[in-house]
């Protein structure tokens, strides 16, 4: 009977038919996996009644499994929504900060390099003022998708607030982080975002910060923020590194 129910096939309801009506034989039949038991000779109406019972049990089991699956999907969806931005589908502020804390703790233990980027879309308010907030939403969504496509599989990108994004780069030195940030910059600047009949040319400014021994998360973010504002002050559409002479101006 176990072979009948092997694999991922639907549950098979088994009615055991036997000429033996001794209690021990019936009990042995149930031990082997039978769901119900009929002794020979049986009456047709009795078999039909047992089959109806079996159908009700199978229907109830199917409904239970479907209910569990729906609840599991709902729970997964709620978990996703709790940690992701509804507009961009990227990590939201809380979600990306939790990932940052996890990577920060791992880096403190391992001593491996670790960097972050703060990226801000340039002159984003003009988009909302000129084309409307729906267009602004589409720009945010497209920009987020482009940046996400430019990252490595184990990097993390989240909407930090408004038109600002936080990028978590594990195992990344400042030099490598600058190269990745430059890819992000080009991914926005090199191709316009098409909205209907309009082609919107967007740029992004990015500040990079590398973790150093003794730094806290707040220091890492503050340094990236300082670098971001330097990029803005120097003309936008560029990448800047905190406390280093390196820059990438365009």
pLDDT for 249: 39
Residue 52's domain spans which residues? 15-81
Domain boundary pick from 81, 104, 139? 81
The values of phi and psi at residue 44, to 5°, are -55, -40
In this structure, are 75 and 106 located in the same domain? Answer: no
Which run of H or E residues covers position 28? helix 23-31
| Dihedral, 162, 166, 167, 171 alpha carbons, nearest 10 | 180
In this structure, are 219 and 124 located in the same domain? Answer: yes
pLDDT for 248: 41
Closest CA to 94 of 171, 161, 169: 161
In this structure, are 76 and 98 located in the same domain? Answer: no
Domain boundary pick from 50, 81, 112? 81
- Is residue 4 in a domain? no
* Residues contacting residue 229 through CB under 8 Å, at least 6 positions apart: 207
Tokens of 90: 């990227």
In this structure, are 209 and 129 located in the same domain? Answer: yes
- Is residue 238 in a domain? yes
In this structure, are 53 and 101 located in the same domain? Answer: no
- Is residue 128 in a domain? yes
Residues with catalytic roles: 163
CATH number at residue 153: 3.30.70.270
pLDDT for 3: 62
In this structure, are 206 and 184 located in the same domain? Answer: yes
Domain boundary pick from 55, 81, 107? 81
Tokens of 236: 């936008």
- Is residue 209 in a domain? yes
pLDDT for 91: 96
Of the CA atoms within 13 Å of residue 221, those in its CB half-sphere come to 13
d(CA 170, CA 99): 10
In this structure, are 46 and 111 located in the same domain? Answer: no
The total of structural domains in the chain comes to: 2
d(CA 31, CA 26): 9
CA distances from 31 to 9, 13, 23, 83 (A): 21, 14, 12, 48
In this structure, are 66 and 171 located in the same domain? Answer: no
Residue 64: other Cβ atoms inside 10 A: 10
In this structure, are 68 and 129 located in the same domain? Answer: no
Residue 226: other Cβ atoms inside 10 A: 16
**Is the Cβ–Cβ distance between 226 and 167 less than 8 Å?**
no
In this structure, are 149 and 100 located in the same domain? Answer: yes
pLDDT 10s digit of each residue in the chain, 250 long? 556 666 566 777 888 777 776 767 677 777 777 888 787 877 888 888 888 888 888 888 888 888 888 888 888 888 888 899 999 999 999 999 999 999 999 999 999 999 999 999 999 999 999 999 999 999 999 999 999 999 999 999 999 999 999 999 999 999 999 999 999 999 999 999 998 888 999 999 999 999 999 999 999 999 999 999 999 999 999 999 985 444 443 4
First CA to last CA across the chain, in angstroms?
Answer: 72
In this structure, are 239 and 150 located in the same domain? Answer: yes
Longest dimension (CA), the chain: 95
pLDDT for 2: 55
* Residues contacting residue 226 through CB under 8 Å, at least 6 positions apart: 207, 242
pLDDT for 42: 77
- Is residue 5 in a domain? no
pLDDT for 76: 80
């Amino acid at each position: 009977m176990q072979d009948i129910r092997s694999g991922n096939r639907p549950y098979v309801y088994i009615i055991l038919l036997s000429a033996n009506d001794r209690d021990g034989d019936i009990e042995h039949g149930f031990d082997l996996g039978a769901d119900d038991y009929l002794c020979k000779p049986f009456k047709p109406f009795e078999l039909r009644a047992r089959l109806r019972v079996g159908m009700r049990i199978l229907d109830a089991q199917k409904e239970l499994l479907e209910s569990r699956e729906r609840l599991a999907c709902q729970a997964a969806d709620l978990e996703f929504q709790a940690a992701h931005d509804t507009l961009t589908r990227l990590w939201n502020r809380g979600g990306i900060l939790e990932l940052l804390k996890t990577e920060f703790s791992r880096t403190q233990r391992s001593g491996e390099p670790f960097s972050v980027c703060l990226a801000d879309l340039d002159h984003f308010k003009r988009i909302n003022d000129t084309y409307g907030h729906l267009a602004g939403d589409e720009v945010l969504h497209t920009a987020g998708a482009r940046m996400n496509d430019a990252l490595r599989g184990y990097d993390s990108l989240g909407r930090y607030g408004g038109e600002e994004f936080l990028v978590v780069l594990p195992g990344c030195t400042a030099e490598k982080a600058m190269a990745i940030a430059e890819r992000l910059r080009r991914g926005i600047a090199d191709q316009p975002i098409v909205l209907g009949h309009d082609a919107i040319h967007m740029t992004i400014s990015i500040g990079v910060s590398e973790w150093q021994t003794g730094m806290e998360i707040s220091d890492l973010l503050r340094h990236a923020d300082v670098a971001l504002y330097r990029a803005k002050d120097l003309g936008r559409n560029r990448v800047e590194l905190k406390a280093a002479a390196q820059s990438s101006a365009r």
